[in-house]
Structure 1
Amino acid sequence: MIRALVVNQILRSVADRAIKTHRCILAKNSKVFRKMFEQTEMIEGVTGEVTIIDFKPEPVQAMLEFFYTGEVNKDVLEKHVEAIFSIAHKYQVLPLKYECEVFMTNLIGKE
């Protein structure tokens, strides 16, 4: 199980843009990704690829940046906060979802 999580993973998103990442990073940060890799009948566990077609590349990249650094670029967050919030919700990335909530709350407070 642990050995399987160390293998490189490829995320494919809109426009067939491939983003290389590590399976263990995805599994550590998202219960949804972890379940994908644990279940041998899921294609993601077999092929080593996860295809994300319902989000543009920017929120996918922002989520990965958060996985690796614990932060999201402020400019990217400002431009794509709703999409980043949505992807964080879909893949159950609670700390990223919280960061988006705080950011949106601060925007409301300024208006």
Structure 2
Amino acid sequence: MTDETTSPLQTVNKPRSYVYLDNDTSTLRSCEFNDGILRCRGCNYILSNEHVTACRYCLGDLNTKNKKLRSSLNEMRAEVLSLQKEMEFLRTWDERFVNGTASSGDITLKTKDGFCFTTYRFLLASRSSVFRRILEKKPLSELEIEDMTAHELGCLIDYLYRARVEQEAMERLAPGLLVAAHRYQILPLKAACEQHLTHRVHTENVVSMIELAFKSNAASLKEAAFHVAASIYKELMSCPDMKNLLEREPRIAAEMLKEILVRTNL
């Protein structure tokens, strides 16, 4: 009879476990209540018996780990998206190039400073509607590119092959590449350069950035530059860059002043 009956002491001492979903981390957590003491099952930290929750140290550590995991996941998603875009880019390449049956190049591009680059007409035409129109008119074997430096043209051709610009090259050449990408309608390169420059607008370069945004029809860069310009409009009116812009590009300067007046309610 005694063996079949559970004593009151045994009933009290029987561990009780609690499992619940933590709302902050969307992770299952657990604790254990035994002998009147509530312990975190992650580290045995003694908790208050007034509530059922995780140890704040374990929970803080878990939050930190989850934030790092989410950050890594976002980076991986961005990399996957980049690779998907590159694969889409590669799938549109001319069959001759993909199969390795093309020669080393069938057109030479010459820069204003005398440098030459050999590439493929089909590559230029497939990436740029402007190049396509030029090459459709006449099957050129040589083309003068007077509006780009050798570094800019070399980087642009490299982009046509690889669909990416190295960070170091982007830091040096983004303004020139943005203008070239707009002129030749290489839209993915234009978007990449515009995004890069939008995050690098400051009080020292705001006038040149506004001029660049107008010349390349870069809406997000223009918005970022006007935001900075409106915050320093008093200093801007007397700076040398603004005076030079008024002399060189009065139309752009007038549009810039008009926008600043609207934004500052003057």
For Structure 1 versus Structure 2, the TM-score category normalised by the shorter chain is 0.7 to 0.9
Partner of 1:98: 191
Unaligned runs of 5+ in 2: 1-93, 95-101, 203-266
* CA deviation profile, 1:17-55 (whole Å, cap 9, x unmatched): 110101111000000110111113xxxx3x411111121
Q: What TM-score do you get using the length of structure 1 for normalisation? A: 0.82
Partner of 1:34: 132
The higher radius of gyration belongs to: 2
Give aligned-pair identity as a percent: 27
Partner of 1:56: 149
RMSD, matched Cα:
2.0
Q: Which has the higher helix share?
A: 1
Structure 1 residue 14 displacement after superposition: 2.3
Structure 1 residue 56 displacement after superposition: 0.7
Separation in structure 2 between the aligned mates of residue 54 and residue 101 of structure 1, nearest angstrom: 19
Separation in structure 2 between the aligned mates of residue 37 and residue 8 of structure 1, nearest angstrom: 12
Separation in structure 2 between the aligned mates of residue 86 and residue 68 of structure 1, nearest angstrom: 19
| Structure 1 segments (4+ residues) deviating >3 Å | none
Q: What TM-score do you get using the length of structure 2 for normalisation? A: 0.36
SS at match of 1:65: helix
Higher relative contact order (CA 8 A, sep 6+): 1
Structure 1 residue 15 displacement after superposition: 2.0
Unaligned runs of 5+ in 1: none
Partner of 1:21: 119
Separation in structure 2 between the aligned mates of residue 26 and residue 60 of structure 1, nearest angstrom: 12
Paired letter, 1:98: A
Separation in structure 1 between the aligned mates of residue 124 and residue 147 of structure 2, nearest angstrom: 18
SS at match of 2:199: helix
SS at match of 1:26: helix
Structure 1 residue 16 displacement after superposition: 1.5
Instruction: Give the alignment of 1:67-82 within 5 angstroms.
Output: 67-82=160-175
Separation in structure 2 between the aligned mates of residue 58 and residue 86 of structure 1, nearest angstrom: 14
Separation in structure 1 between the aligned mates of residue 108 and residue 160 of structure 2, nearest angstrom: 15
Separation in structure 2 between the aligned mates of residue 82 and residue 95 of structure 1, nearest angstrom: 15
Structure 1 residue 86 displacement after superposition: 0.5
